[in-house]
Amino acid sequence: MTIPWDLIVIQTVNGVVTGMILALVASGLTLIFGIMDVVNFAHGELFMLGAYLGVLVLASTGSFWLALIIASLVVALLGAALQIVTLRPLIGRDPLTTILATFGISLVLQNYALWQFGPISRKIAEPVSGQFRLFYLEYPWYRLVIAAASAAIIGAFWLFLKYGRYGIWIRATTQDRVMAQAMGIPVPWVYTGVFAIGSAMAAASGVLFGPLVGVEPYMGLAWVLKAFIVVVVGGMGNFGGSIVAAIFVSLLEAYASIWVSPSQAIIVSFVALILTLLFRPTGLFGSAVR
Amino acid sequence: MIRRDRRLFWIGFAVILALLAAAPLVLPPFWRHFVTEVLIWGLLAMSSDILIGYTGLISFGHSAFFGLGVYGAAAALLLVAPPNLFLAIALGLVAAALVAGFVAYFSTRLRDIYFAITTLIFSQIFYVVIFTWTSVTGGENGLTFTRPGLGIPGLYVVRFTPVTMHWFVLAVVAVSYLILRRITRSPFGMVLQSIRENESRTRAIGYHVEHYKMVAVMLSGLFAGLAGVLYALQNEFAAADFVFFLVSGETVIYNVMGGIGTLAGPLVGAAFFLLLREALSRYFTEYYLIPLGIIFIAMVIFMPQGLLGFARRWLNR
């Protein structure tokens, strides 16, 4: 069997593009987990709602970038509201109860979307038309644009965490919740804020990814699963690790789908997960001993 | 006092068993079918309670065990002629046990949240395999088969009627309940509960926590597989949907609604959930999960001990 170099190059580009979006989803998830100890089962549904809001705003304003911003803001508000209503009463209880609560949220949101928008998948038009030649393909610029946009959002968030006033609050809360509270940081509101930021990141990735796949009520589960894999492989709560793992897993899947159908290619990332659990249960980039 | 408790338990058990046995004789066909289904889902919920309630591990992957039970029974019924009930049960259990062993080996390396996520991901692996391997599993269309009779093949076989099927399910579920109850009260069950309460201390005392967890997952998977076999026999149908995440999610809901760590609670939870679904789908049609999800969240927040735990606390007051 000769090695199909052209296909490998194409799939590398595809893998990096999907990986960047996945990194955006996963970093929201890992942020919420790292700081609040909450596994957000509803993350995929926030992603899906973001995509739907993108569809709606795009239809009424015609601007994709406006849709991206509005969808992120609305889902951030929704996330904050959900956190205040459902997760705040659970602070201090067994962290496992938060899985149950967010699972309940995901059921409600998924069925709400099904009720509101129907089962038929919708499309978001690509904001950047243009194509460039990649071997025999006309590769759309848009895909590179969304990869760059995801990277920009992640980068901006990283700068915010590092230098922003509230970013420092967030890091302080991660390090020592009680001490942060004692220093006057409003920890419950930091939690709400973190959940809102994570939700916004999910929504932004939903809007960005909308043009590549159809937007439908059940799209959340597939993405949240992938994001979970990434987060476990990257080391739970490890921000940088999950980004590297996102690209790694997406590349694996992209290469695998040269030979098998994409629905089976996901098994490759499952295998990556199993191998990680076997040899490095704390994740490839996790150093903390649990 | 303990003796009185025990007598009370057996009286209660006998009364409920008698009521459930009489149910198909007095209920109209729809509700008869409903009660049978509640028992099957209740068994699945009870099996999962071993992990959620007694070991402190939330499994979001019980659909894999359940689904493999369904498919194992289906395989036995389709491949072997004439179809044999006991072979179906055996193969269903073997299939579920193999999957459970596989999942247990990997997932018990992790705690809490990581366990929940890995069981979920494992069940999706099996879902993808079953969904895409159309030539064997029927994929989206599933497999249909006919229910075998009860008895010794070649000698004496009676065909199931809906009523005898109900009794058969009831017998299996009741015996499973007693076995599970015995297990949770055995020294082994005590170790599981101590893992739930304080894992590091249990380890420090000298128990090999991983082994205990592994056995707990396999045991739980075995009974989930049994529920799958019963479901296959009852509905004469196997489909990839039974391996899908939704089944696992509903299993967790039954547990939380009924009361985790009570064993009978999850069965009550299954009944409550299915009744709610019946009632709510009159008004909300197929979107019944919206109000049901809200009720579920409210119960997680305000009634974490579930219906049975709540009732028990209220009675003790």
Q: How much is the pTM?
A: 0.86
Scanning A101-140 for CB atoms below 8 A from B yields 101, 103-105, 107-108, 110-112, 114-115
- The CATH architecture one would assign to domain B29-271 is Orthogonal Bundle (1.10)
Name the residue among A272, A280, A285, A270 with its Cα closest to residue A222: A270
| A253 within domain boundaries | no
What is the structure's pLDDT at B180?
A: 92
Asked if residue A159 belongs to a domain, the reply is yes
How distant is the Cα of B133 from the closest Cα of chain A, in angstroms? 10
**CB-count exposure of residue B168 (10 Å: 0-12, 13-18, 19+):** middle
More confident residue, A1 or B13: B13
**Among A40-54, A200-214, A254-268, the range of highest mean pLDDT:** A40-54
For residue A27, is it within any domain? yes
Kindly determine whether residue A263 and residue B132, on different chains, have CB atoms separated by under 8 Å: yes
- pLDDT tens, position by position, B304-317: 888 888 887 777 76
Residues of B with CB under 8 A from a CB of A: 56, 58, 60, 106-107, 109-114, 116-118, 120-122, 124-125, 128-129, 131-132, 245, 249, 252, 256, 286-287, 289-290, 292-294, 296-297, 300-301, 304
Selecting from B112, B131, B252 the residue whose C-beta is nearest the C-beta of A100 gives B252
Residues of chain A positioned with their CB less than 8 A from the CB of B245: 221
Percent over 90 (pLDDT), chain A: 16
β-strand partners of B152: B156
Q: Are B123 and B243 in contact (CB under 8 A)?
A: yes
Side chain identity, residue B276? L
Burial of B101 (0-12, 13-18, 19+ CB in 10 A): middle
Task: Kindly state whether residue A112 falls inside one of the protein's structural domains.
Answer: yes
Interface contact B294-A273, CB threshold 8 A: no
- pLDDT of residue A229 exceeding 70: yes
CA–CA distance, A229 with A245 (Å, rounded to integer): 9
Q: Is residue A244 in some structural domain? A: no
Q: Is residue A153 part of a domain?
A: yes
Interface contacts (A, B; CB < 8 Å): 102
Q: Which whole number is the average pLDDT over B127-150?
A: 78
- CB within 8 Å of A32: residues ≥ 6 apart: A38, A40, A43, A194, A195, A198
Average pLDDT of the residues in A138-146: 82
Instruction: Answer yes or no: is pLDDT of A289 > 60.
Output: no
Average pLDDT over residues B232-244: 85
Q: Residue A174's domain spans which residues?
A: 10-221
Tokens 């940081």 locate to A185
pLDDT at B1: 53
Report the gap between the CA of B166 and the closest CA in chain A (Å): 31
Q: Residue A288: its pLDDT value, please?
A: 47
Q: DSSP assignment of B244-307, as one string? A: SHHHHHHHHHHHHHH-TTSSHHHHHHHHHHHHHHHHHHHHHGGGTHHHHHHHHHHHHHH-TTHH
Model confidence pLDDT, tens digit, residues A95-107: 778 888 998 999 9
Instruction: Identify the weakest region by mean pLDDT among A52-66, B152-166, B194-208.
Output: B152-166
Give exposure, B10-21, as e/b (b: 16+ Cβ within 10 Å).
Answer: eeeeeeeeeebe
Determine what percent of chain B is predicted with pLDDT higher than 70: 97
Structurally, chain A folds into a number of domains equal to: 1
Least Cα distance to B229 among B79, B39, B69, B74 occurs for B69
- CB interface of A with B, residues 247-266, below 8 Å: 261, 263-264, 266
Q: Residue B218 has which token pair?
A: 């396999």
Evaluate if residue A132 carries a pLDDT over 90.
no
Would A178 be classed as within a structural domain? yes
Domain residue spans of chain B = 29-271
Q: Please give the average per-residue pLDDT across A80-86, as a whole number.
A: 91
> Closest to A97 (Cβ–Cβ): which among B109, B118, B300?
B300
Q: Is residue A229 in some structural domain?
A: no
- Asked if A274 reaches chain B (Cβ–Cβ under 8 Å), the answer is yes
Q: Residue A114 in 3-state DSSP?
A: helix
Q: What is the mean pLDDT of residues B249-272?
A: 89
Residue B256 with chain A: CB contacts under 8 Å: 100
**Is the pLDDT confidence value at A3 over 80?**
no
Query: How confident is residue B137, by pLDDT bands cut at 50, 70 and 90?
Result: confident
Find all residues with CB under 8 Å of A149, minimum gap 6, and list them: A68, A208
Provide the 8-state DSSP code for B147.
P
Read off the pLDDT of residues B62-93 as tens digits, 9 standing for 90 and up. 999 999 999 988 888 888 777 778 888 889 99
Pick from B292, B166, B315: which is nearest to B230 by CA? B166
Percent of the residues in chain A that have a pLDDT greater than 70, as a whole number: 97
Q: Which residues of A touch B301 (CB under 8 A)?
A: 86, 89-90, 101
